[in-house]
């Protein structure tokens, strides 16, 4: 019972974090401290998406809701990629963009796997996948909140993607 409330409070903290990140980047933009519109777009899209998914998901969670969360993450990922393509096509990829795309992809995969396990296969008893899912989704969400606020590559993910890219010049940056 306490675990259920803990999960709800983590979800509320993540939504609050995305809204605070949006407000932070709006105030930075207005005050001309930092005009990082890419971080503002990521934070705003994530805040709206996570709020809508929280409001539209019923309180009595069913196994089919994993598919709904999967679709929310895919649509959110598409919105962030579309915003980058339409608004920031020539701009360098910010850390928040890389981390949010990676985090949403990880979450979407986890939601899809949980949907397959719990709804299609009918698994009712918790096992290792469920514990991994519970921890991983919350950790990924908190990392996304941190990166959207700080816009720093503190895990080296952006550096790694640069090194793995085809362009040898961008790997040296």
pLDDT(170) > 60:
no
Write out pLDDT tens, residues 39-50: 999 999 999 999
**Helix ranges restricted to H, 31-115:** 37-56, 65-87, 95-115
pLDDT band at 1 (very low <50, low <70, confident <90, very high): very low
pLDDT band at 125 (very low <50, low <70, confident <90, very high): confident
Break the chain into its structural domains and give their ranges. Answer: 2-171
Q: In Å, how far are 70, 79, 105, 153, 154 from 63, measured between CA atoms?
A: 12, 25, 20, 35, 34
Q: What is the pLDDT of residue 169?
A: 53
Kindly report the pTM of this predicted structure: 0.85
Rounded CA gap, 154 and 137, in Å? 19
State the burial class of residue 156 (Cβ atoms within 10 Å of its Cβ: 0-12, 13-18, 19+): exposed
Q: What is the pLDDT of residue 168?
A: 55
pLDDT(144) > 90:
yes
């Amino acid at each position: 019972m306490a675990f259920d409330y803990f999960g709800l409070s983590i979800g509320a903290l993540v939504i609050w974090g995305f809204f605070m990140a949006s407000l932070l980047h709006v105030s930075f933009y207005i005050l001309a401290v930092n005009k990082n519109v890419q971080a503002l777009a990521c934070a705003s899209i994530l805040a709206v998406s996570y709020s809508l998914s929280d409001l539209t998901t019923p309180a009595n969670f069913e196994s089919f809701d994993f598919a709904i969360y999967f679709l929310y993450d895919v649509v959110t990922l598409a919105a962030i990629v579309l915003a980058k393509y339409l608004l920031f096509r020539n701009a360098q990829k910010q850390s928040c963009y890389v981390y949010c795309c990676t985090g949403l992809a990880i979450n979407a995969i986890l939601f899809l796997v949980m949907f397959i396990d719990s709804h299609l296969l009918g698994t009712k008893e918790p096992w290792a996948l469920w514990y991994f899912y519970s921890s991983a989704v919350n950790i990924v969400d908190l990392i996304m909140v941190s990166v959207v606020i700080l816009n720093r590559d503190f895990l080296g993910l952006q550096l790694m993607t640069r090194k793995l890219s085809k362009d040898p010049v961008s790997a040296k940056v």
